[in-house]
Amino acid sequence: MAQWQDLLRLDAALQARVSQLYEGRFPREIRHYLCVLIESLDWDLAAGDENAASTCFHALLEDLQEQWIRSVQENILLQGPDYTGMKDYLLKNFEDKPLNLAVILSECLKEEQKIKASASEAQACGSPDMDQKWKWKDMDNKINELKRLIMEVNKEIKSLEILNDNLDFIQKTWQNKVEQDIGLAQSHAVVEEECRKRTNFIIQTKQVVLQEIVNILNLAQPIVATLTEVELPEWRLRQQLACIGSLANTCLDHLQKWFTAVAEVLLRVREQLQKLKEQNNTPDSTDASILPGLMAIIENQTLSLFTQLLANALVVEKQPIMSSLPQRPLILKTGVRFSVRVRFLANLPEFKCLLKVKPVFDKDVEEIKTVKWFRHFDFNSDECKVLDVDSPNGDLVTEFGHMSLKEIKGRAKGSIESRLAVTEELHIIKFVTEFRHVGLELNIEASTLPVVVISATTQVSSAWASIMWNNMLSTGDSRNLQLFVDPPPLTWEQLSQVLSWQFLCTGMRELDENQLSVLRNKIVDDPDDLVHWSKFSKNENAWLWIDGILDLIRKHLVDLWRDGSIMGFISRERTAELLKEKRTGTFLLRFSESKTNGAISFSWVDNANGDRV
């Protein structure tokens, strides 16, 4: 189970490799729901021993039967997976051939380990440099100092409670004795003086505590600003690039640790301020209005920082993705299920099951009101979910796994108002929640990256071109849903990078400088090294040719591309030059320049002198 859970936490590109691994060989649904049992069995041994293979096969059947019985007993048969269908699949395909099952799972588990290893290598390559590590260490040190300071304040507040209790005891005890014995009245002045001294000491202690709280807030303010204005936007940019193939590290562990720690400190500050208020409002207190102005300022500053932090704590951890297009997130097809995962970074026990999240399509999008040709969509079912700690790592997350769209207003047939194709039309999904806790009420939102909604699988290629173009141009929080009304060009440096990522995701091998040079000569005709949208995906549509090659690799040539057997993009002239004076039979494989739907060209030496290619 640990291995499968690790795979589920990988980015979309690496999860796509896992999906490819099982495609046509073994249902991922069975791998998912039987992950604990599958990983506990020795499939390497079973692959070479028919008795062991049969034992493993029947263990899977028994586990499926047990899970089915449990779903019946708990009355969740319709909500759960199709255990009967999974069992029937195993019986139909492997009852007489358990060795085949063992071989498949043995190979798949080993390949999974390789994919995990490649993820670790990618994280190592994309691991923070020394400057980044210093920044993270500096952030850790500052937050540790915050924790130390709030612990000191907690001690001071407890001391104040004891001092107030002692003062209250002296005052009440002395008053009772005076009422019982009139002779004690002579000592009344002495007791009053003692009480006055104690009260003054309490006032001074409160002033010290308030100053300590001010120090905490002064330290917390730049930390909150850094988290919300620097660290979080940088993570969003990494996630944005990862969606289009980059191996950027999108792990949220550091951010969640920092958000949670600062949120806890600010929450404790609010609690301590409330305790100070209660002490001031004690009926017998001689100082019921200590520094009311400063108290109000401190409370407002605490609330402001807390609000700023929490308003940014909701993030879309996994962008919208259809299981049928695991390598191409942000493309959604009407009527087809997709999934999204959101996370709340301030992961405190007090917030468990507190937030109910609702998705809203195109919330606050002006184009719905102002652009006549802009299509309108909505979800096929209303779905709200509560953020709960239900992941192996205890993250405060929820996954919307059964979302789908319906079109509620399309373009008029024959409409010529729009210059945009439907694959150039961008939309967003927002996740909204209301935060209510200890007097604080706050509306929180998180938005997906812009998505493209299609109605036919033939539109996937064009839609992905739009996704790549938009994400290379609209970095950070900027969202221009009418980007393609007048699309800015990309530099060749930008485009070559994202094209190389596509080959890495599809066939686990990037494009080298020679291959990129061939592509550049074919695509770029601008003196400033710019590539225009019309050249890439409209009029001449170089992308259609490239995507055809990617599809060919994906379906048939992953191994040959990965191990370098295919030279790839290479001109005819360069081909002839490389094969010149080679032995008869020497050949190379390259991508065809004339076939738009993806093809391989074979070039070889066919005579002893090597003069003819």
Least confident of 31-40, 254-263, 489-498: 31-40
Residue 540, pLDDT above cutoff 70 = yes
At CA 377, angle to CA 375 and CA 380, rounded to 5? 155
Q: How far apart are the C-alpha atoms of 350 and 410, rounded to whole Å?
A: 44
Residue 601: enclosing H or E segment and its boundaries?
Answer: strand 600-604
Q: Which of 528, 544, 533, 547 is nearest to 470 (CA)?
A: 533
Reduced to 3 states (helix: H, G, I; strand: E, B; else coil), residue 474 is coil
Q: Domain ranges in the chain?
A: 2-125, 132-311, 314-457, 491-604
> Which of the pair, 183 or 169, is modelled with greater confidence?
169
Strands (E), 368-461: 376-379, 385-386, 388-389, 396-403, 405-409, 426-427, 429-437, 440-447, 451-454
Residue 128 φ/ψ, nearest 5 degrees: -60, 140
What is the pTM for the complete model shown?
Answer: 0.76
pLDDT value of position 426? 94
CATH topology for 314-457 is: Immunoglobulin-like (2.60.40)
The terminus-to-terminus CA distance of the chain in angstroms comes to 54
- What share of the chain has pLDDT > 70, as a percent? 84
pLDDT value of position 121? 56
Tell me the CATH architecture of domain 491-604: Orthogonal Bundle (1.10)
pLDDT value of position 166? 63
Token digits for 328? 């191409």
pLDDT value of position 381? 86
Reduced to 3 states (helix: H, G, I; strand: E, B; else coil), residue 400 is strand
Across residues 201-210, what is the average pLDDT?
Answer: 76
pLDDT value of position 146? 93
pLDDT value of position 153? 85
How does pLDDT run across 347-386, given as a tens digit for each residue? 998 898 889 999 999 888 887 777 777 889 999 988 889 8
Handedness of CA 359, 364, 367, 372 (dihedral sign): positive
How does pLDDT run across 271-301, given as a tens digit for each residue? 888 888 777 644 444 444 556 777 888 999 9
Confidence of residue 17 (pLDDT cuts 50, 70, 90): confident
pLDDT value of position 610? 44
Residue 37, pLDDT above cutoff 80 = yes
pLDDT value of position 613? 57
> Which of the pair, 237 or 577, is modelled with greater confidence?
237
Across residues 166-172, what is the average pLDDT?
Answer: 62
Across residues 135-148, what is the average pLDDT?
Answer: 90
Query: 2-125 belongs to which homologous superfamily?
Result: STAT transcription factor, N-terminal domain (1.10.532.10)
Residue 250 φ/ψ, nearest 5 degrees: -110, 20
Confidence of residue 305 (pLDDT cuts 50, 70, 90): very high
Residue 77, pLDDT above cutoff 80 = no
Sole residue written with tokens 């709030």? 150
Pairing outcome for strands 396-403 and 388-389: antiparallel
> CATH says 132-311 is which class?
mainly alpha
How does pLDDT run across 171-186, given as a tens digit for each residue? 666 655 555 555 555 5
Residue 189, pLDDT above cutoff 80 = no
Residue 192, pLDDT above cutoff 70 = no
On whether the CB atoms of residues 2 and 115 are closer than 8 A, the answer is no
pLDDT value of position 144? 93
On whether the CB atoms of residues 504 and 247 are closer than 8 A, the answer is yes
Residue 606, pLDDT above cutoff 50 = yes
Residue 443, pLDDT above cutoff 90 = yes
State the average pLDDT for the chain. 84
> Which of the pair, 473 or 419, is modelled with greater confidence?
473
Strand ranges across the sheet with 587-591:
566-568, 587-591, 600-604
pLDDT value of position 256? 95
How does pLDDT run across 517-526, given as a tens digit for each residue? 999 988 888 7
Confidence of residue 585 (pLDDT cuts 50, 70, 90): confident
Residue 123, pLDDT above cutoff 60 = no
